[in-house]
A and B are shown apart, each in its own frame.
Chain A
Amino acid sequence: MLLQQIINGLTLGATYALIALGYTMVYGIIQLINFAHGDIYMIGAFIGVAAVAIFHQNFFLTLATAMLACVILGVTIERVAYRPLRRAPRLNLLITTIGVSIFLETFMTVLKGPQPTGFPTVLKNVTLRVGELEFSSIQLVILLVSLVLMVGLQIIIKYTKIGKAMRAASEDYDTASLMGININRVISFTFAIGSALAAAGGVLVGIYFNSVSPYMGVTAGLKAFVAAVLGGIGNIPGAMLGGLLLGLAEVFGVAAGFSTYKDAIAFTLLIIILLVRPTGLLGRPIQRKV
């Protein structure tokens, strides 16, 4: 059942890709690994759980609410915690992101307890059969929603004014500001998009595994980070490719009998990539400043 495994791998991979995009976009513009990004994904999942109750099982309203709430959260965190440190040494900022991460995890633990809770039913879970192939309606929704979001992202980046400004700023921060681009606004926008995608990932994964917990962002965040590095950090199509490849690698690893080592697969891949191709699959050679 090769095709079956591929579908499972792509489903998992699509969720990694959604989170990986936030890491890579933020890195692309301010060269920062935002370690709190995985926790945005976690908060998104929790908001999803709350929204299900409010919106009477409407999937799209649930998804939209989680995304919107995380946009506000992500933009606020950048504004309050990261922006004042823009001119401070890089390490200070990196440590701040870890601080924010711990804060969010602890906050949710206090609020909801450390135990995982289930995700209330919001999508009918029926098994679809196409010949030998078997997949759930939930998998189909995950794949479709991820596809729509990623195509939407590409359109924004390629054709809109703010999307072009993002590309300009990620290529050359100073020159972009000499064009009259308000860099702070571009950075806010980047955090907004990244957080929305992570929240979508959180809701989808919460539904898929029927489990939400304050620490769900730790492993998922690390893996998505690996996916971003795998594709070439700072490179948007790279994050998508990296996520999908990582999902496939995990599913095939488990199928091959390494299920105990499932979480180790990502990091083995990371080590191999760093040794063989440090700039990632689609990354450009590291440019040294002259």
Chain B
Amino acid sequence: MLEVKEVSVAYGVIEALRNISFTVGKGEIVALIGANGAGKTTTLRTISGLLRAKKGQIFYKGQDITRLPPYKIVELGLTQVPEGRRVFSRMTVLENLEMGGYVLRSRSELKAGLERVFERFPRLAERKYQLAGTLSGGEQQMLAMGRALMSRPELLLLDEPSMGLAPLLVREVFSIIQEINKAGTTILLVEQNAHMALSIAHRAYVLQTGEITLEGPASELAQKPEVRRAYLGE
């Protein structure tokens, strides 16, 4: 469904990604794990069109999206929940969700989208008219995910959804991700919490200072001594 082919990205003269290649198949949960500064966020921002690849190509459902502007990529069904949630804090919960549904063509689609999201996240329904900036961290993560689901994405990119959440909430977020996947959305998950990510992913890639160093089925990667040492704290 997604194919990243020999992509390099640089910030000025500093190369953040060097020749990375990976794929995400339809229906999969693929995890991309790596330490701080490895280039995970850079990878997702490049896929979404916020950053331009210096070299290489990105294909989504067979179409070359390397040079498309972000809004066109969303229209194709590829949506991202950015790192740090980034809810629109001065807008209400409802308005945030409406922005998530910006690409929907009709009012009835928007209404159906809201119903779906409120069903999955009842907390958001209770807080419809609250300013998003006044939500708790966990609620903001739910809003960021609900907002991304509004456009009915076929491929969802998630950038560290567990960041800054209490262990109980982390569990909840990951089980929601599994539910979303079971309902038919393909997922590319970026995480520092490698333990949780590997426990729900089908396959995984390890990113180390801008290069992919390991890849394989998640359960196999979780057994490798170098992964256990570097990312699972053993």
A residues near B (Cβ < 8 Å) are 161, 164-165, 167-168, 171-172, 174-183
Contacts and interface: CB of A to CB of B under 8 A. Distances in A.
Nearest to B133: A171
Contacts of A178: 48, 50, 70, 74, 79-80, 82
Given A178-B82, A181-B71, 15 more contacts: A161-B98, A164-B91, A164-B95, A164-B99, A167-B88, A167-B95, A168-B91, A171-B88, A172-B86, A174-B50, A179-B147, A180-B71, A180-B75, A181-B102, A183-B71
Interface residues of B, number: 24
Interface in B65-123: 69-71, 74-75, 79-80, 82, 86, 88-91, 95, 98-100, 102-103
Contact of A172 (B70, B88, B151): B88
Contact of A175 (B49, B71, B88, B151): B88
Given A164-B99, A175-B86, A180 B74 contact: yes
A165 B151 CA distance: 15
A180 B103 contact: yes
20 contacts: A164-B98, A165-B99, A168-B91, A168-B99, A171-B90, A171-B91, A175-B86, A177-B50, A177-B69, A177-B70, A178-B50, A178-B70, A178-B79, A178-B82, A179-B147, A180-B79, A181-B99, A181-B102, A182-B69, A183-B71
A174 B48 CA distance: 10
**Which 8 residue pairs spanning A and B have beta carbons closest together?**
A180-B74, A180-B103, A177-B70, A175-B86, A182-B71, A179-B99, A180-B102, A179-B102
A165 B71 CA distance: 12
B50 A161 contact: no
Nearest to B52: A87
A182 B72 CA distance: 8
Nearest to B89: A171
A164 B92 CA distance: 11
Contacts of A167: 88, 90-91, 95
Contacts of B95: 164, 167
Contacts of B80: 178
Nearest to B84: A290
B82 A174 contact: yes
A171 B96 CA distance: 12
Contacts of A164: 91, 95, 98-99
- Which of A161, A171, A178, A182 gathers the greatest number of chain B CB atoms within 10 Å? A178
- Which of B49, B91, B98, B102 gathers the greatest number of chain A CB atoms within 10 Å? B102
A41 B180 CA distance: 52
- Which of B89, B99, B100, B151 gathers the greatest number of chain A CB atoms within 10 Å? B99
A179 B70 CA distance: 9
Contacts of B48: 178
Interface string B146-174: 01000100000000000000000000000
A180 B151 contact: yes
A178 B99 CA distance: 10
